Amino acid sequence: MLERIRRYGELIRFSHTIFALPFALLASWWAWLLPSPVDGNPIVFRMQDLAGILLCMVAARSFAMATNRLLDEQFDAANPRTAGRHLPAGLLGRAEVGFFILFCAAAFIASTLLFLPNRIPLFSSIPVLLFLAGYSLGKRFTWLVHLWLGVALMLAPICAWVSIRGNVVSEQWTDLLPAVALGTCVCLWVTGFDILYACQDFGFDRSRGLYSIPARFGVRGGLNIAKFLHLAMFVLAVGLAFWFPQLSLGWIYRLMLVGIGILLVWEHSSVSENSLDRMQLAFFQLNAVISVLFLVAGGIDAWLR
């Protein structure tokens, strides 16, 4: 049983949850800290809301990754870089993964019941799952598939915010803007590092007629587009401290931005058109630090001030 659990964890790359979960938690923290602009009352913290956010995050991401692995099995089997993944290697069967996908979808929908009487998460659950599943088909018809993934992770902070402040958002939609700005940062950041990651499969994607930005514009073009997106993400992250004074982001947040700028420069200097050997550092390790920095600095600073 433990071996089976380990295989499912590897199938969905459970460790990669660290990319989106910190932003969902940060948006939740801000949502609880800020009083309602409608009546000035504080937002009541409920443990069941926190549990719902954690369960929804894990279930939605597991559903999306497992769906991606199932739909991409034929491509993974043909690609030397991915031939060792669980489905092409026979470590898990298609029926097993299909059942796991259904289980995660049911768990996601059931977890939204924890937010009641706020019904927005429940009513949005199926459209969200369909959008997440659709990403796995994107590479078959559009090189904007990386943006699709970015928007998918952008939903994490936005959905967390709405799950906690749904009644406020329904009365005053501008209350959602801080979460949208944070989500846009996530979108730009994820789209950029997914383009970096796709550079590894530049030749394979072209040979199979799959769509990606590196396959469309070449590795150099992909790297340059990723740099632009990360620069835009950094500018937007700086703007959060000025455009939303209600978040009270001060010197701790600004110090974090310096660190993130250094990490982004390090990330892009680690890979080049002729050398993608350090992709693991650029893709996972540095970006994991960036997401945790956002959570820690953005959360502590807003709380202290």
How many alpha carbons lie under 13 Å from residue 209 in its C-beta half-sphere? 2
- Residue spans of the domains in the chain: they are 2-304
The pLDDT mean for the chain works out to 90
The highest-level CATH class for domain 2-304 is mainly alpha
Range with the poorest average pLDDT among 5-9, 57-61, 89-93, 163-167? 5-9
CB-based contact 160:39 (threshold 8 Å): no
60: nearest Cα among 23, 12, 6, 120: 12
Residue 156 has pLDDT above 80, yes or no: yes
When pLDDT is averaged across residues 258-282 and rounded to a whole number, the result is: 82
- Each residue's pLDDT tens digit, 60-74: 999 999 999 999 999
Q: Model confidence at 87, in pLDDT bands (50, 70, 90)?
A: confident
Residue 38 has what pLDDT? 81
Asked whether 199 and 219 are in contact (CB, 8 A), the reply is yes
pLDDT at 236: 96
Residue 19 has pLDDT above 70, yes or no: yes
Do the beta carbons of residue 53 and residue 31 sit within 8 Å?
Answer: no
Predicted pLDDT at 140: 93
- Looking at the predicted structure, is the pLDDT value of residue 121 above 80? yes
pLDDT digits (tens, 9 = 90+) for 215-233: 999 999 999 999 999 999 9
